[in-house]
Amino acid sequence: MTKPNREELAYESIIKLILESQFKPGDFLLETDLSQKLQLSRTPVRHALAKLVAEGFLDKKKKKGCFIPSATPQDAKHVFYARERIEGLNAASAARYALDTDIEYLYQLIENEKEIACLDEKKWKRAYLKINENFHLGIATMSHNKYLEQYCKNIFWRSHAYILFFDTDYHGETSIGQSLGPRQHIEITKAIENRNEEKAENLMKQHIRTTFEQLFVRI
């Protein structure tokens, strides 16, 4: 395995640990501990942590190391405001550029999302995390705009950390009901399929806004 691949593996593995709630806001991510947990040398772990700090996913204190920033309502507002705008643009661009195979892929993810609804919370959380990531980042890729795709990737992971830290009932025990996620994903996908850029953008923005409104009462 080449050096860049080891660094990418460390980067993705650290994010996965955070999003699986193995760490919480305020926790320090120690280089030596992560190296042992991930069975990687310290160098790729160090570089991955530095990248996460540069992207704003982690903060760093001199002589203490990297840590997960404390979650605040104000930060959540900023994160979801940015995500709403960026993902709205991605959806609009996807409505213009997505291939038929891309749209089929989105519909398959929606079917997978419906199928996991009966799982227990722990299994559901792992499965949902991957499906939801593939849906949103898949649309970002379909936008054919590398800048929007990269911005979406960064802000998605930060906002998803909020969801998993503060909304343990996100998979359905909400006032809107368990079908919220699949229903809104279906509407977004249909707008993309119909090449309706404005509708795709507005539906995606509303989807992100609804997620934030549900989450905000828990922060």
Contact (CB, 8 A) for 129 and 164: yes
pLDDT exceeds cutoff 90 at 140: yes
pLDDT of residue 157: 80
Every domain of the chain and the residues it spans: 3-67, 73-216
Contact (CB, 8 A) for 204 and 90: yes
Same fold for the domain at 3-67 and the one at 73-216?
no
pLDDT of residue 154: 83
Q: Cα–Cα distance between 185 and 190 in angstroms, integer?
A: 9
- Residue 28: beta bridge partners? 67
pLDDT of residue 180: 60
pLDDT of residue 170: 43
CATH number of 73-216: 1.20.120.530
Of 78-92, 116-130, 173-187, give the range with the top mean pLDDT.
78-92
pLDDT of residue 117: 81
Phi, psi of 20, rounded to the nearest 5 degrees:
-90, 10
Q: Give 191-216 pLDDT, tens digit per residue.
A: 999 999 999 999 999 999 998 888 77
pLDDT exceeds cutoff 70 at 47: yes
Q: How sure is the predictor about 174, in pLDDT bands with cuts at 50, 70 and 90?
A: very low
| Averaged pLDDT, 98-103 | 97
Contact (CB, 8 A) for 50 and 11: no
Domain boundaries 3-67, CATH class: mainly alpha
What residues contact residue 123 under an 8 Å CB cut-off, 6+ apart? 116
Query: In the block, which residue shows the tokens 């959806």?
Result: 91
| Averaged pLDDT, 104-115 | 94
